[in-house]
């Protein structure tokens, strides 16, 4: 072979190699070349993950898997997969266990904390399913609080009819998240907007504005456990900054009985701490997965112990709820007993299940149907 031909052949080989490299670079990265989770026509679900050096991969989601195997099988050398048939419907938290290390599904953008979320639709999920009904709008607000020198955030849901009635004012429900959540939790995981859309369309709930404040007042990472931070900062922010801001932007009905609070876990604490000390404003309270004992009321709302008749006169709805497997169930039971002993009118809704959004979503569905029914 002549020298010019050798040079030309070498150049062609180099060009082909370069083209192949560019094609690889222009394509998706290895972890994104498969789909997960994937809903199959036979009602099964396939989960996949790229883990080229792993020796064992498991799927962690006992509520979804049941007694099926949780071991993934290797395919195409670098990938792992498992196909399961869901044992029930609902919204589930899941993770992969890769050689003993937990990781969320990198291909699933819907997460909560360090878990991925998947919704298997069925009878259990119908009340928060996206249906062919008018849909409200979720607005996000950033605002500055000079007292704590922080930029704060909140989400606001306005019902579908809001823009069509420029002269109408609306009742407002404030939803508080737990210590591991954010102002997005009630909409992202709780599907509060879908729940309200469906209830309003079915005439089971009044059109209302829903506000989800951010319940932490320090930057992430500055405390090992978020709930130990000074709660007074949040209450100051809520009362003195957020509420005036919202009233300047939205058509909120300021009449008695038109304001409500609810929240889960830490949000249940916020509901009681704020609501019981402002009964002239908040006449509807919904603490979920939370309970206050004698000491709690002595330190946070002593008038509840000393003047229960006044509490009954002020409150329209006092809706408690907790699951039997919730680690705060005993605390909730004690609060129920204390309120009953004091003669304070309330509802204590006991369900199966634990400390998770599967329950809190149901509680919201029930609670909102009791609000603003005058």
The tens digit of pLDDT for each residue in 168-178 reads 999 999 999 99
The highest-level CATH class for domain 128-368 is alpha beta
What pTM, to 2 d.p., does this model score? 0.84
Q: Can the peptide bond before residue 37 be classed as cis, meaning omega within 30 degrees of 0?
A: yes
Burial class (CB in 10 A: 0-12, 13-18, 19+), 277: middle
Q: Exposed, middle or buried: residue 49 (CB in 10 Å: 0-12, 13-18, 19+)?
A: buried
Calpha distance 365→195 (Å, rounded): 6
Q: Domain spans of the chain?
A: 30-120, 128-368
Q: Looking at residues 211-235, what average pLDDT do you find?
A: 70
H helices, E strands: number in the chain: 12, 17
pLDDT at 114: 84
What is the percent of the chain with per-residue pLDDT over 70, rounded to a whole number?
Answer: 89
**pLDDT tens across 68-96, in order?**
999 999 999 999 999 999 888 888 889 99
What are 74's two structure tokens? Answer: 């290797």
Residues 86/125, Cβ–Cβ less than 8 Å: no
Share the mean pLDDT of the chain: 90
The count of C-alpha atoms lying within 13 angstroms of the C-alpha of 61, restricted to the half-sphere facing its C-beta, is: 30
Find the Cα–Cα–Cα–Cα dihedral 292, 298, 301, 303, rounded to 10°: 120
Residue 228: which pLDDT band, with cuts at 50, 70 and 90?
very low
- Distance spanning both ends of the chain, measured CA to CA: 96
CATH of domain 30-120: 2.60.40.10
pLDDT at residue 355, as a whole number: 93
Cβ atoms within 10 Å, residue 111: 14
Largest CA distance in the chain: 106
| Residues 85, 61: Cα–Cα separation, whole Å | 12
Question: Coil, strand or helix: which one is 41?
Answer: coil
Q: Under DSSP, is residue 359 helix (H, G, I), strand (E, B) or coil? A: helix
Residues 103/165, Cβ–Cβ less than 8 Å: no
Of the pLDDT bands very low, low, confident and very high (cuts 50, 70, 90), residue 105 is: very high
Token code pair at residue 22:
């560019």
CB 297 within 8 A of CB 305: yes
Query: What whole-number distance in Å separates Cα of residue 107 and Cα of residue 80?
Result: 13
In the chain, beta strands by DSSP E: 38-39, 45-50, 57-60, 73-75, 79-84, 90-98, 101-103, 111-112, 115-120, 137-145, 150-158, 172-176, 209-213, 259-264, 284-288, 317-323, 347-351
Average pLDDT of the residues in 267-288: 97
Q: Which whole-number Å values give the CA distances from 3 to 9, 14, 15, 17, in the listed order?
A: 10, 17, 18, 21
Q: Is the pLDDT of residue 303 over 90?
A: yes
Res 20: pLDDT = 54
Beta strands in 52-185 (DSSP E): 57-60, 73-75, 79-84, 90-98, 101-103, 111-112, 115-120, 137-145, 150-158, 172-176
What is the C-alpha to C-alpha distance for residues 290 and 177, in angstroms, rounded to an integer?
12
State residue 42's pLDDT score: 92
């Amino acid at each position: 072979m002549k020298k010019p031909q050798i040079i030309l052949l070498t150049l062609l080989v180099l060009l082909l190699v370069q083209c192949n490299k560019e094609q690889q670079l222009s394509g998706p990265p290895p972890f994104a070349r498969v789909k997960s989770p994937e809903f199959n026509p036979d009602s099964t679900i396939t989960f996949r993950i790229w883990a080229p050096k792993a020796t064992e991969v498991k799927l962690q989601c006992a509520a979804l898997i049941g007694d099926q195997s949780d071991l993934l099988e290797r395919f195409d050398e670098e990938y792992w997969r498992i196909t399961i048939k869901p044992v029930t419907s609902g919204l589930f938290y899941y993770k992969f266990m890769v050689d003993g290390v937990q990781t969320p599904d990198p291909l699933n953008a819907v997460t909560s904390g360090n878990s991925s979320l998947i919704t298997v639709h069925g009878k259990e999920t119908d009340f928060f399913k996206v249906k062919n009904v008018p849909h409200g709008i979720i607005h996000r607000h950033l605002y500055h609080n000079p007292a704590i020198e922080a930029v704060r955030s909140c989400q606001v849901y306005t019902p579908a009819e809001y823009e069509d009635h420029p002269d109408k004012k609306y009742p407002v429900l404030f939803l508080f998240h737990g210590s591991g959540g954010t102002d997005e939790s009630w909409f992202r995981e709780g599907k509060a907007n879908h729940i309200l859309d469906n209830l309003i369309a079915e005439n089971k709930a009044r059109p209302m504005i829903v506000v989800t404040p951010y319940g932490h007042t320090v930057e992430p990472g500055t405390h090992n456990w978020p709930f130990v931070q000074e709660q007074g900062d949040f209450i100051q922010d809520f009362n003195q900054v957020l509420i005036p801001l919202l009233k300047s932007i939205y058509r909120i009905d300021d009449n008695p009985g038109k304001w409500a609070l609810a929240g889960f876990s830490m949000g249940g604490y916020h509901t009681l701490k704020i609501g019981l000390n402002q009964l002239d404003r908040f006449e509807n309270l919904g603490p979920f997965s939370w309970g206050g004992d004698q000491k709690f009321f002595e330190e946070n709302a002593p008038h509840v112990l000393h003047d229960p008749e006044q509490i009954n006169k002020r409150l329209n709805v006092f809706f408690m709820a907790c699951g039997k497997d919730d680690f705060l169930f005993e605390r909730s039971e004690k609060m129920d007993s204390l309120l009953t002993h004091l003669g304070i009118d309330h509802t204590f809704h006991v369900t199966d299940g634990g400390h998770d959004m599967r329950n809190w979503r149901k509680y919201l569905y029930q609670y909102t149907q009791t609000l603003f029914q005058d």
